[in-house]
Structure 1
Amino acid sequence: MVEQFGFIAILDALGVSNYKLNEAQTFIDGKNALISELKEKAEVIGKSFNENAEGRYQFPEMTISTFGDSIIICWPTGREKEALVKFPSIAEWLQSAIVFGLKHQILLRGSLSIGEYLIDDGDRTVLGPAIADAHAWAEEANWFGVILTPHCQIYLGPALENKAMKEAIKINNDILCVKYSIPLRDREKEMYAISWPFFFLEHYKKNTVTGPVILSILLSNFTIPKGVETKYENSIQFFKFYEDSIYPVVIEGVREMIAKATSVK
């Protein structure tokens, strides 16, 4: 077992536990295709961040393990500022996981933690405080998407809340994650959620159909049993909140940043 410090995400596929054999096989095929696509995305993100930021946001080496309907991802980062500056690339990857999952008819719900953990390079067993924290929160949200655990939020506090720190390491946290009243199992709680709607809107922006329509088309491919409809409704509500309240401001900020960079050249 090797001791590491870094980020851990647990992503569970919703609704899989009740699948019949043929449905389970379809899910396995879709999950394998999704993981293959996400590994390619990791390479693209790593190359992009390394080239554009001179290694500042280097995408850490990623380990993916699967068990049943769960996907466990580990990113060893090092501590303190090392972890903070690598968060943007990890957040982008998690955004893509949610969006690509929709394409493969897999709804992913989970959490992101940070801390110490042990990993066995042989069978990829993961143990320790970070995995326990991620597991405790992975199924708490009543939607599909990824939340930051309270411990993760505290650790990333300097980057998410401190204006000077955000400017120093060039993090626009609304692109990465956004504070939102998360619908949990028994209550709502203000927490940070990964901003998958940003990746969704950017991924489909050249499409002639609007983002909300595309999301509705993708979700219409899912069977929605009675009693779980609120998971879909809550996710759509989060998407609309981001599109209406956050996305326009973020895009304007990106344009200003590009304009300043161009003027300097």
Structure 2
Amino acid sequence: MKIICRKCGFEDEQQIEKRNEANNGVVIFLDALGAREFSLDECRTFISDRDEILNRSSFIWNKWTSEFQKELDKKLPEPEIVAFQDSIIICFAEQSGNSLPPLLAAGQWLTQMMTQAIFKGIFFRGSISVGPYIFDTSPKNVTVMGPAVSDAYLYHDKAKWIGVIQTPKCQNNYQSVIEFDAKERKEKLNPKFYEFLFVDYPVPFGDGKKERCNAVSWPHIACRAEKKLGNPIISSVLSEGMCKELDTAIKQKYKNSLTFLRWYEKYIFPNN
């Protein structure tokens, strides 16, 4: 069995050491929209594209790690990643020393990964939680479980869109995280400073209901890419999804996601 583990890369099962330790940190649960209806050929394409996205994310993360260390003297915690079926679990454990808080690191990782996934036609929705969890690997199995995993799973499919939200538990923790980060940077707290990672947004929860959540700012990378290329590449992918012969509920999720992108592009991106 292939496991995507701490280094964000594929490891042979003989190389995986037994780990059965309790961690405290961030857990992300992602699920791919529409995968239940995939044919075998579509499943093969999905697996290939997913692996390409994760490997590309690993490359970008390694580059950012070097830049953070050089320019900010900060370490970026490395994610532990498990991919199974059409879902992915990503864990960022708390680190000792001069390290970026796991929640902010998770936001950094997700903004670029989500944009890559949309560009490749893979549409994830999910949630982020904080707290204790166990990440256990052996030559035959990998197990990720604990309160943070359960909390992330509980909320991963609540929002009717393509995107990632903080769970209520995570949102309660978020304020203290950004306060700590501002203090570390010796600056006055400015919540808007972090809108390139997370943004307060009325997220659609179905039946016309919306709930204000801290959502991952994947449109930040999308807007940068579209501005640089002069081409609405991400907008076009979402618009194409709305035109496909799909279930009405799924089409609405594309529409909700495009609305989020347009809102971010108009009200948030110009200020970042």
Q: Is the 8 A contact 2:76 2:100 kept in 1?
A: no
Q: Is the 8 A contact 1:64 1:73 kept in 2?
A: yes
Tell me what 2:8 maps to. Answer: none
Is 2:214 aligned against 1:198?
no
Tell me what 1:2 maps to. Answer: 21
Distance change (3 Å), C-alpha of 1:239 and 1:140 = same
TM-score by length of 1: 0.84
Q: Is the 8 A contact 2:119 2:233 kept in 1?
A: no
Instruction: Give the strand-richer structure, 1 or 2.
Output: 2
Distance across 2 between alignment mates of 1:130 and 1:163? 22
Say which SS state the counterpart of residue 110 (structure 2) adopts: helix
Distance change (3 Å), C-alpha of 1:15 and 1:64 = same
Q: Is the 8 A contact 1:45 1:89 kept in 2?
A: no
Distance across 1 between alignment mates of 2:113 and 2:206? 23
Distance across 2 between alignment mates of 1:221 and 1:246? 24
Per-residue CA deviations over 1:6-41 (Å, capped at 9, x if unaligned) read 111111111001111111111111111111111112
How far the C-alpha of 1:77 sits from its partner, in A, is 1.2
For structure 2, list consecutive stretches of 5 or more residues without a partner in the other structure: 1-19
Q: How does 1:219-238 map to 2 (within 5 A)?
A: 219-220=238-239, 222=241, 223-227=244-248, 228-238=250-260
Distance across 2 between alignment mates of 1:134 and 1:54? 31
* Aligned partner letter, 2:90: I
**Matching residue within 49, 55, 70 for 1:36:** 55
**Matching residue within 56, 69, 79 for 1:50:** 69
Q: Is the 8 A contact 1:105 1:221 kept in 2?
A: no
Per-residue CA deviations over 1:194-245 (Å, capped at 9, x if unaligned) read 1111111123332122xxx322322355445031111011111111111111
Say which SS state the counterpart of residue 147 (structure 1) adopts: strand
Per-residue CA deviations over 1:35-63 (Å, capped at 9, x if unaligned) read 111111221221222222111xx211211
* Aligned partner letter, 1:183: P
Distance across 1 between alignment mates of 2:149 and 2:63? 26
Tell me what 2:106 maps to. Answer: 90
**Matching residue within 217, 241, 247 for 2:269:** 247
Q: Is the 8 A contact 1:59 1:90 kept in 2?
A: no
Tell me what 1:62 maps to. Answer: 79
* Aligned partner letter, 2:256: N
Distance change (3 Å), C-alpha of 1:83 and 1:18 = farther
Distance change (3 Å), C-alpha of 1:220 and 1:241 = closer
**Matching residue within 67, 81, 88 for 1:71:** 88
* Aligned partner letter, 1:8: V
**Matching residue within 233, 253, 272 for 1:214:** 233
Distance across 2 between alignment mates of 1:147 and 1:46? 24
Tell me what 1:152 maps to. Answer: 170
Q: Which moved more, 1:168-177 or 1:13-22?
A: 168-177
How far the C-alpha of 1:96 sits from its partner, in A, is 0.9
* Aligned partner letter, 2:48: D
Q: Is the 8 A contact 2:76 2:99 kept in 1?
A: no
* Aligned partner letter, 1:99: T
Distance across 2 between alignment mates of 1:160 and 1:240? 26
Distance across 2 between alignment mates of 1:94 and 1:66? 15
TM-score by length of 2: 0.82
Tell me what 1:260 maps to. Answer: none
How far the C-alpha of 1:134 sits from its partner, in A, is 0.5
Distance change (3 Å), C-alpha of 1:180 and 1:152 = same
How far the C-alpha of 1:140 sits from its partner, in A, is 0.7
How far the C-alpha of 1:78 sits from its partner, in A, is 4.6
Is 2:143 aligned against 1:125?
yes
**Matching residue within 198, 208, 213 for 1:177:** 198
Q: Which moved more, 1:41-50 or 1:125-134?
A: 41-50
How far the C-alpha of 1:160 sits from its partner, in A, is 4.7
